[in-house]
Amino acid sequence: MLFNWKSPAFIEGARMSAPSQFGMGAWGLVVGVAMIKAGLTLPQALGMTLLVFAGSAQLAALPLMAAHAPVWVIFVTALIVNLRFLIMSALIAPRFAHLHWFKRTVLGFFTGDITVALFMNRFPHMWNSAAEEGEQRDFLKGLVVPNWFVWQITSIIGILLGSQVPTHWGLGFAGTLAILCVMLPLVQNRPAVGGVVLASVVAVLAHALPYKLGLLLAVIVGMGFAMWLEEHFDTGAEAANADQAGQGDQT
């Protein structure tokens, strides 16, 4: 069965994803409206939201499509914007490397920014048994399925409403705030705080870079710094424990 709806882990994942759905819904509505305002027909907009499922890439590609830019320019732009998913998928790829390529492809298609963060917060370590592997897989599915449905429903509503939704409502910013409220509780230790702070600074300083490269740079720098801090603190803790053990032996 592709999705085990009755699994306790699936239900847990669905419940954990619930607070983020307001932000996802607002973001989907914004992208749906943007597609119609960019000149896409109803079938084109519906096809894009069902097949692409990547809000940032869609918003980056829409102005280029409206300007009749070459297909390769649109493709490269969307690819650059979505490079962050390469980094995020590398975090959870070892958990599911044993699965058939089709199942991995389906999971990869449905998985997004928030779902990776929530998954890593719930399961920071690799599974050690078949039962744990099944639990982690069902939990991830519980995260991504509601996320996909909310995105598609609100995006289609935005497509159907079209220009009837005023841009001054600021739904995109509302979605960003909602997602921020979900992400902040996940920052639970000093390495994570350091990574977030540095990533925020880099994102602001590199905001003017084209194709949202500033976002990608911020993700890479922030994650690298957090990993360095985690290793530094772990090394310091091990040294302190070794000193205490040595002092205990002397006494």
For residue 161, the model assigns a pLDDT of 83
Let me know if residue 2 belongs to a domain. no
- Residues 106, 168: one domain? yes
**129, 157, 186 - which closes a domain:** 186
Integer-rounded Cα radius of gyration of the chain: 21
Report how many domains make up the chain. Answer: 2
Taking alpha carbons only, the member of 213, 204, 172, 201 closest to residue 84 is: 213
Both 151 and 198 in one domain: the answer is: no
Both structure tokens of 209: 């870079």
The pTM assigned to this predicted structure is 0.68
Which residues contact residue 190 at a Cβ distance below 8 angstroms, ignoring those fewer than 6 apart?
229, 233
By the 8 A CB rule, do 32 and 156 touch?
yes
Whether 20 and 141 map to the same domain: the answer is yes
Q: Within a domain: residue 166?
A: yes
Residue where one domain finishes, among candidates 171, 186, 201: 186
| 34 and 157 part of one domain | yes
Shared domain check, 29 and 77: yes
Same domain, 40 and 80: yes
Compute the Cα dihedral for 235, 239, 241, 245 and give only its sign: positive
Find out whether 138 and 10 touch, Cβ atoms under 8 Å.
Answer: yes
Q: What is the pLDDT of residue 196?
A: 85
Same domain? For 181 and 191 the reply is: no
Specify whether 221 is located in the same domain as 208: yes
Residue 3 lies in a domain: no
* Cβ neighbours around 88 below 10 Å, total: 19
Q: What is the pLDDT of residue 153?
A: 94
In this structure, the answer to whether residues 180 and 122 fall within a common structural domain is: yes
Instruction: Tally DSSP H helices, then E strands, for the chain.
Output: 12, 0
Domain assignment of residue 1, yes or no: no
Q: What gap in Å lies between CA 67 and CA 39, rounded to an integer? A: 10
Do 167 and 81 sit in the same domain of this protein? Answer: yes
Tokens of 166: 């005023």
How many whole angstroms separate alpha carbon 37 and alpha carbon 41?
10
SS3 content of the chain, % helix, strand, coil (to 5): 85, 0, 15
Q: Domain boundary at 186, 202, 219, which?
A: 186
- Whether 27 and 109 map to the same domain: the answer is yes
Mean pLDDT by 10 residues, the chain (251 residues): 76 90 83 84 90 84 81 82 80 88 89 86 87 90 92 91 64 55 65 85 86 75 84 63 56 54
Distance CA 75, CA 223 (A): 26
Same domain, 84 and 166: yes
- What is the extent of the structural domain holding 17? 8-186
User: According to the model, what pLDDT value does residue 5 have?
Assistant: 73
